[in-house]
Structure 1
Amino acid sequence: MSKGRRMSNSKIFLKLIKYTWRASPLTFSALIVASLLFSVLRYSEIVVLQSLFSNILEVVKGSPYDIMIKPILAILIILILNPVGEWLEFLAQGYFWRRGNGYMQSLYHDRINRMDLIDYEDVENFDDFKKASLGNGEAPNGIRVIVQILFLYIPFILITSLYMISIKPMLVFAIVLIFIPVLISELIKMSNNYDFEDKIANRRRKTEYFESCIVSKENFKETLINGAFNYFYSLFVDSNKEFSKAYVHVKNKLLKVAIVMRIINTLGYLCVLALLVYYLYNGSISVSQFGAIYYSIEKITSMLKGLIEDIGEALVGISSTSFLIRFLNEEKEIEREEELSKADDIELRDVSFKYPNAKEKSLSNINLRIKKGTSLAIVGENGSGKSTLTKIIMGLYNPSQGVVQYGDKNIINYSNSSKFSNISAVFQNFIKYKLPAEDNIKISNISSQDSIENASSGINLSFNDLKINNETILSREFGGQELSGGEWQRIAIARGLYRPHDLIVLDEPTAAIDPIEEANVFSTFKKLSDDKTCIFVTHRLGSTQIADKIVVMENGEIVEEGTNQELIDLKGKYYHLLESQAKWYER
């Protein structure tokens, strides 16, 4: 995963415009129309009120009352249209946020789906994911504010400023004193917010993790039995203090800036009032103009305040969204989207692999050929590289060096969807989905009408024996039923068998099953996957004799390979492991 640079606000803005327009062109247009309507209504109030003030003075001087009818009717129309405009704006904002948020989430989730598994092994990437996820909600809100700035605030402020310039140009300069300081303050806030989120993401993730060790269902059992509540609570408190300390430091800095800018802002407002009084005193403006200008200043000040607050909200939103935009736009090599056959020989040539930030290689100089339709057992002690090798074979990891080929095709050049089609796997740490029992098995092909019977019967999985049916939720959390570890393993194995495959991998998924049952499961897999390529990873060597070929791993290297009998006759690593395990069952 490439590390993107900080993007400019203009690029983020253009990207957001594109994304939010794609989310819903109709809603985008509706928000623009509603914003323009409000802008026109606000300015119309000023014009109509000046006309009303002028006519009132004329009536006082003896003019007929009927000259009041038009401005009064205009005010009534504005009063009626105002709630209509507010209602349209409210609807437009709501739909705009929901559509935009949903679309941005879909982009984020799609980007996650296209990531490589190795990205999750790099701690910096976790921080990037966390920061990018913050932008999901902020993105549409930020662009919504920007649309309203462009089509509500700016048109109103510009046309009202022109109105004031036509009367007294100096008034506009005084209004600038109101606007500029707070804008500077918000720009400083945006910069500090970006830097804060960029630096604190790792601390935020740690704080959330320590809290999960206390309150999450998955961790509560061991936390309780180990009496570790106080330990994790102290870690949570200390981590939260560090987070709060950084947060308070940023807020104190921003508060000092805000106080200075607010003083300048207040001085600007006082200057405007002083000028108005001065112009009225020397006769430069009439009483009706004074009333209209004072009202317009109140309006424009209110709009400026709203504009500044919204700019601040937009800038903060953009600073958070920048992480998401950067994440969405990270360059990724173009990969081929086409059929990649798994029904061919698999070959690894001079393959080495090292995890991010690791000092030593996990695999070194692996050369291996797996003939199509055969079974391979990978054995070795813990940490020997068995699981890493299977991930390399399946394409979950790309080798740091060397080549993995299906047939004559180097799989590194293909997309994830191409690499993983027609591959099935069952891992040791399989997922216990809190879903109906049938969906747990059909998860890889949920719309399939094929029965789960073939996948479940071969491994002695019977819903009747488990006292569940296809619709039973496998979680008490959602009103269903919990299964034992061994029962869950059968569900997971049935899931692996159900998925269409030409290559299937069992990476030690049978830890909760006794050795005899494990051997039966492997035999069943081999039988049900006839003419398919099967790979078994196990630490129980009694199950490996069914495999056509066995490779023995040690310190990330293949130290022996051959059939069960060949390796026994060799009397090497495999033989000594087999002998040591045989003692487990001696009485």
Structure 2
Amino acid sequence: MTNKKMSWTKVLGRLIKYTWHASPATFVLLVISSLFMSTLGFLEIVSIKTLFDNAVDVANGEAIELIYKPIIGLLAIVALYPFGEWLEYMAQGYFWRRGSGYMKFLHHNRTSHMKSIEFEDSTNIDNLKKASSGSEDAPSGLRIIVQILFLYIPYILSLLIYLVNINPVLVLVIVLIFIPTFLLERIRVEQSFEFEDKMGNRRRKTEYFEKCIISREYFKETLLNGSFKYFLRLFTESNKEFSKEFVSTKRHILKSSVCMKLLNSIGFLSVLMLLVYFVYSGVISIGLFAAIYYSISKITTMLRSAIEAMGGALVGISNTSFLIRLLDDNCDLGKEADIPKDQDIQLRDVSFAYPNARGNALQNINLTIKAGTSLAIVGENGSGKSTLTKVIMGLYDPTKGEVVYGDKALHPYSNISKFKGISAVFQDFVKYKLSVEDNIKMSNITCEMATEDSLDKVEINLPELNIKGNTILSREFGGQDLSGGEWQRIAIARGLYRPHNLIVLDEPTAAIDPIEEANVFESFKRISIGKTCVFVTHRLGSTKIADRIIVMDKGEIVEDGTHLELLNMQGRYYELLQSQAQWYER
């Protein structure tokens, strides 16, 4: 993913396009409410000017009826303000919700097309985190831009025209007042963008260390191991580094802010002195002085709000650039095709390396898995077993060589085409905090078939567990939790529920005792007749049910054969089996 900085115009253009697609009606409503509030503000100034002028005339002996009309006008404007504010509030709320929802959809949809290997690269993870932030900030940034264009600018222009008719010098002075404010916001935006881009990884680490201290997922082990102080130290050190950079950025902005606001105050005092001079010299009356001062006060507040809002908008848009950068990143979705999962699978001279790794995790693998047979993959930790299964399924693309299903090489096809007809259960399966049925059905959400058959195959009896199909499997949400072994059976049932011609089991029975594991694999052998089954296990006693066994070592296949053939070879497989057998000797 590229880290090239994007131009404001490109980001803003895309942001307008996305927000319009999210809800044209909400976009139009925001524009109308902004114009309505702008019009009310201008009419208020006109009414006040008329009121001041007429009040002066009445003080000079004119009829008191002169002030009735501007007072009635002001009362009408005051009455309309709550309606305008309500309309603006509703427009802003709907604009943000619709826009944010659409941006998150774009973000999630783009993420769903990423390759698994991209999640092994910390740079990609940081970019995804920043893109997520952009999907939240985008609508707020554009909402401010819309209000600047249709509320602040029309309002300010109308007041400037009003002041020009009095004396053009007043407009020049006001413009000069806010140049420092504009420059300050520009500095703030640049610094904020650089800070987020630089500190994304540090922010993620800090949040992770905090999670290790306070989250339910980690708390039990952290408490038992006495690791609280350890993680607190890591959090403190990481947060200190983050805070140091944050304070440095804010200090730089503060220095600029002091200078710019000093210039701003000098400019405002200059305007007041100029007004006093005009009154003294007879250019304007006292009544007109009051109207102009109110106008200047109003326009000063409005300009400051507009510029500060612009700063907030630019910060939001700068964060949005992370999202657009992700969306623009070249993503080859692959071709759509029906890839046969009921035919032989071939790995031809396959090698694979993880991002930033020193060497290959797999090296020159040549393997043919016959359709409808079972293959067991064994080896010590780090030998490449799990990596090989991910390459077989297409979760990882080989860095060299190819994986072929039937007559189709897997690499050029889309994720949907790759994974259709494949089911998998991993050792680090997810415990979804959902109902029993949803935990199983999510592997085939369009299927209306009941889950009982899958539960029976893994010997899960819900009444014996005192739960039902709609029981939430999480105490956090008022449900019930399961033991590790029971959770693994749920995960296996989920894998069985998905239609498949190939099923991959990557040590899914680690929390089940050896006897139960043997029973589970025997069940798999029976259930998977006619289907291809690849499974990884660290307990070699279960491998004898496989039609074929391969032994991995340092990313290579060092032995290949049936259980009896490998025993007779008395090689690496025999040594591993003997070392495990010692644990069961009396």
| TM, length-normalised to structure 2 | 0.96
Q: Work out the CA distance in 2 between the residues paired with 1:226 and 1:483.
A: 23
Which residue number corresponds to residue 564 of structure 2? 565
Q: Work out the CA distance in 2 between the residues paired with 1:288 and 1:40.
A: 23
- Measured against aligned partners, the alpha-carbon deviations of 1:137-172 in whole angstroms (never above 9, x if no partner) come to 211111111110111111111221122112211111
Q: Work out the CA distance in 1 between the residues paired with 2:333 and 2:477.
A: 42
Which residue number corresponds to residue 334 of structure 2? 335
Shift of 1:334: 4.1
Shift of 1:58: 3.2
Which residue number corresponds to residue 46 of structure 1? 45
Q: Work out the CA distance in 1 between the residues paired with 2:518 and 2:83.
A: 73
Shift of 1:198: 1.4
Shift of 1:447: 4.8
Which residue number corresponds to residue 7 of structure 2? 8
Which residue number corresponds to residue 372 of structure 1? 371
Q: Work out the CA distance in 2 between the residues paired with 1:37 and 1:458.
A: 66
Which residue number corresponds to residue 545 of structure 2? 546
Shift of 1:48: 2.2
Within 5 Å, which residues of 2 pair with 1:290-329? 290-329=289-328
Q: Work out the CA distance in 2 between the residues paired with 1:58 and 1:206.
A: 70
| SS of corresponding position for 2:503 | strand
Amino acid at match of 1:460: E
Matched, 1:478 2:477: yes
Shift of 1:92: 0.7
Which residue number corresponds to residue 583 of structure 2? 584
| SS of corresponding position for 1:506 | strand
Q: Work out the CA distance in 2 between the residues paired with 1:275 and 1:553.
A: 87
Q: Which runs of 5+ in 2 are unaligned?
A: none
- Measured against aligned partners, the alpha-carbon deviations of 1:387-419 in whole angstroms (never above 9, x if no partner) come to 000000111111111111222222221221221
1:4–1:330 CA contact under 8 A, matched in 2: no
Within 5 Å, which residues of 2 pair with 1:427-506? 427-506=426-505
Q: Work out the CA distance in 1 between the residues paired with 2:331 and 2:475.
A: 42
Which residue number corresponds to residue 24 of structure 1? 23
1:47–1:292 CA contact under 8 A, matched in 2: no
1:344–1:407 CA contact under 8 A, matched in 2: yes
Which residue number corresponds to residue 129 of structure 1? 128
Amino acid at match of 1:160: L
Q: Quick one: percent identity of the two aligned structures?
A: 60
1:377–1:549 CA contact under 8 A, matched in 2: yes
| SS of corresponding position for 1:167 | coil
Which residue number corresponds to residue 162 of structure 1? 161
Q: Work out the CA distance in 2 between the residues paired with 1:54 and 1:472.
A: 75
| More displaced 10-residue stretch of structure 1: 64-73 or 27-36 | 64-73
Q: Work out the CA distance in 2 between the residues paired with 1:60 and 1:197.
A: 60
Within 5 Å, which residues of 2 pair with 1:189-228? 189-228=188-227
Q: Work out the CA distance in 2 between the residues paired with 1:458 and 1:229.
A: 42
Which residue number corresponds to residue 107 of structure 1? 106
| More displaced 10-residue stretch of structure 1: 427-436 or 520-529 | 520-529
Amino acid at match of 2:32: V
1:4–1:327 CA contact under 8 A, matched in 2: no
Which residue number corresponds to residue 93 of structure 2? 94
Q: Work out the CA distance in 1 between the residues paired with 2:445 and 2:500.
A: 15
Q: Work out the CA distance in 2 between the residues paired with 1:83 and 1:217.
A: 46
Shift of 1:570: 3.0
Q: Work out the CA distance in 1 between the residues paired with 2:118 and 2:339.
A: 23
Within 5 Å, which residues of 2 pair with 1:349-368? 349-368=348-367
Which residue number corresponds to residue 147 of structure 2? 148
Shift of 1:376: 1.2
Amino acid at match of 1:455: S
| More displaced 10-residue stretch of structure 1: 422-431 or 237-246 | 237-246
| SS of corresponding position for 1:398 | coil
Shift of 1:585: 2.8
| SS of corresponding position for 2:366 | strand
| More displaced 10-residue stretch of structure 1: 295-304 or 464-473 | 464-473
Which residue number corresponds to residue 116 of structure 1? 115
Change (3 A) 1:73 1:518: same
Q: Work out the CA distance in 1 between the residues paired with 2:153 and 2:311.
A: 15
Change (3 A) 1:4 1:336: farther
Matched, 1:425 2:437: no
Change (3 A) 1:182 1:109: same
Q: Work out the CA distance in 2 between the residues paired with 1:264 and 1:177.
A: 9
Q: Work out the CA distance in 2 between the residues paired with 1:67 and 1:382.
A: 93
Shift of 1:321: 2.2
Q: Work out the CA distance in 2 between the residues paired with 1:426 and 1:401.
A: 26
Q: Work out the CA distance in 2 between the residues paired with 1:475 and 1:83.
A: 46
State the aligned residue count. Answer: 586
Within 5 Å, which residues of 2 pair with 1:234-273? 234-273=233-272
Amino acid at match of 2:131: A
Q: Which runs of 5+ in 1 are unaligned?
A: none
1:375–1:535 CA contact under 8 A, matched in 2: yes
| More displaced 10-residue stretch of structure 1: 283-292 or 518-527 | 283-292
Shift of 1:288: 4.1
Shift of 1:355: 0.6
| More displaced 10-residue stretch of structure 1: 440-449 or 157-166 | 440-449
1:346–1:369 CA contact under 8 A, matched in 2: yes
Shift of 1:494: 0.9
Q: Work out the CA distance in 1 between the residues paired with 2:475 and 2:71.
A: 67
| TM, length-normalised to structure 1 | 0.96
Shift of 1:100: 1.4
- Measured against aligned partners, the alpha-carbon deviations of 1:429-487 in whole angstroms (never above 9, x if no partner) come to 11111221222222212453212222121222211222221122222222222221111
Q: Work out the CA distance in 1 between the residues paired with 2:212 and 2:56.
A: 74
1:133–1:324 CA contact under 8 A, matched in 2: yes
Matched, 1:58 2:52: no
2:113–2:333 CA contact under 8 A, matched in 1: no
Q: Work out the CA distance in 2 between the residues paired with 1:338 and 1:153.
A: 54
Q: Work out the CA distance in 2 between the residues paired with 1:47 and 1:32.
A: 23
